[in-house]
Amino acid sequence: MPPGSRAARLSRRAPVLGHLTIDGRPMLSESGSSTPPGTIPVTLTVNGQERQLQVAPWTTLLDLLREELDLTGTKKGCDHGQCGACTVIVDGKRINSCLALAVQKDGAKVTTIEGLSSGDLHPVQAAFVEHDAFQCGYCTPGQIMSAVALIEEGRARSREEIREHMSGNICRCGAYSNIVDAVEDVLKNKASSFREAAE
């Protein structure tokens, strides 16, 4: 196959995805099974659904989500943990999925932007729409996932604290003030709900 062809690119990418192939067919192990040699079994609960997978040891959680599970809402930006576009929530904490190996998260519960709500928009998603907190939208899933975790952490009580705790999420379009407005709005609504419940 020509080196620059699509088939060649997919063939080079196959080991990263945990699928070792010969001419597009799964390579059989010595035992005759189609489990790719050199892969490791990983079980993840992704957006509430248990997934049992065979992954290459070097596969990042980001690549597993995007390439293996087709959850492309999680974006690949810098691939170095510096932009926050790949933010997901793992066991209740936000992480940069490009820096986490999938095998390290065996047994974990992972929430991506696709699993944030079923039906109606999550309050943070609705606030982003209301406050026009995005432009091109590329960073938006990571911004939203980070904001959801930030609110659950309960550490941000002011605009300055929101900015500080969201500083790992870069918006190249510069929609920062609208993002802060959206997060602040959700925090205020949540505090109001708690007050009403207490009364």
By the 8 A CB rule, do 55 and 40 touch?
yes
Distance CA 54, CA 188 (A): 44
Residue 36's pLDDT is: 73
Smallest CA-to-CA distance from 62 within 20, 15, 16, 96 is with 96
Q: 148-157 burial, b for 16+ CB within 10 Å, e for fewer?
A: bbbbeeeebe
The CATH superfamily of 123-198 is [2Fe-2S]-binding domain (1.10.150.120)
- Fold classified for 6-115: Ubiquitin-like (UB roll) (3.10.20)
Across-strand partners of 96? 87
The per-residue pLDDT string of the chain (199 residues; one tens digit each, 9 = 90 and over) reads 455 544 444 444 444 444 444 344 444 444 445 667 899 999 999 999 999 999 999 999 999 999 999 999 999 999 999 999 999 999 999 999 999 999 999 999 999 999 998 889 999 999 999 999 999 999 999 999 999 999 999 988 899 999 999 999 999 999 999 999 999 999 999 876 654 554 4
Q: What is the DSSP letter of 108?
A: -
Residue 20's pLDDT is: 42
Residue 190's pLDDT is: 83
Residue 191's pLDDT is: 72
By the 8 A CB rule, do 62 and 74 touch?
yes
Residue with tokens 């293996």: 68
User: Would you kindly state where each structural domain of the chain is located, as residue ranges?
Assistant: 6-115, 123-198
Q: pTM surpassing 0.85?
A: no
